[in-house]
Amino acid sequence: MLRKFGRLAGVLALLVLVAPAVMAAGNGGEDLKNTANLFERVRDWHRFGIVLNNDTFDEAKNLGVSMVDFGIASLESIKSRLENSNLSMKEEIIDEINEHITDLINAKEEIEDAETVEELKEAMKNAREVWRDAKVSLQKSIIIAVLDRLETFVEKGDRLETFVEEKIAEFEEGGKDTTLLENWLENYSDHRDMALGRIAEAKEKVLEIETPQQGFEAVKDAREAVKTAMQHSKECVEDLREIIRLINQYGDAEDAEELMEVVEEVVQE
């Protein structure tokens, strides 16, 4: 019994750690602050051991309800942020979060309706499982947010491609051999496409996550995707250096300045 309730206290302690970030969202801040203070007490009590029996029944029930309330408030806060974001696949994740909120509301009712220690233990166990599943959706949103930012950066490279293609056309009209420049542009485009492809694969895997363990594996996949995409991005930089050199060779100072302006736009935005 102690071990089972200890796991619950562990979940509560975890929620205490994330409380500041959730309260910063500004949704239900005062209620979350009060709940967080309650969880601080739980963490302190846990250091001395917690016993769930008839003597502690009412207090344990209150703690269980507060735990679920905090979980619901956390999900509502995150959902609000997602709704106001440009996150890709956000509708799918929001739908999942809504389902988790409903499940947590049901779990809270089970805790409130519990009349015996065994019923309360079972209700709390169910609440832990529901929150565990809810954290999967949170994992998804975090991973996709990281991949989105990387994808946006890589996608902006199309501005460079367009600019260089226009310069190639100008140089050809001037009777210059642009074979080398075309080859380096092709390399740049290929490396950029490979980076985007790796990111897309990672996103598809993220949507397949159903359990926390799969979430951890997806984090590894996302990390590999970022690593691979960054490698391709580095190769793009090497390609770009050659492109800059060739444009300096074929064109004039104005051409080089225009190219650097495009590069700065891509990097700084």
Instruction: Tell me the per-residue pLDDT of 19-52, one tens digit each, with 9 for 90 and over.
Output: 433 444 444 455 555 555 655 655 555 554 556 7
C-alpha R_g of the chain: 27
Burial state string for 200-218 with b = 16 or more CB within 10 A and e = fewer than 16:
eebbebbeebeeeebbeeb
Taking alpha carbons only, the member of 190, 170, 191 closest to residue 233 is 191
Task: Give the residue, 119 or 41, on which the prediction is more confident.
Answer: 119
* Mean pLDDT, residues 136-158: 81
Distances from the Cα of 86 to the Cαs of 46, 53, 90, 145, 148, in angstroms? 41, 48, 8, 9, 9
Please give the structure tokens belonging to residue 129: 């499982």
| The pLDDT of residue 130 is above 70 | yes
Taking alpha carbons only, the member of 269, 253, 45 closest to residue 160 is 269
Distances from the Cα of 126 to the Cαs of 8, 12, 74, 98, 210, in angstroms? 11, 15, 18, 18, 17
The reported pLDDT for the residue numbered 43 is 58
Quote the pTM value.
0.60
* Mean pLDDT, residues 187-204: 86
Q: Sorting pLDDT into bands at 50, 70 and 90, what band is 176?
A: confident
Name the average pLDDT for the chain.
Answer: 77
The reported pLDDT for the residue numbered 101 is 94
Residue pair 239/187 in contact (Cβ under 8 Å)? The answer is yes
Q: Mean pLDDT lowest for which of 114-123, 173-182, 245-254? A: 245-254
The reported pLDDT for the residue numbered 38 is 56
Alpha carbons 143 and 232: distance in angstroms, whole number? 20
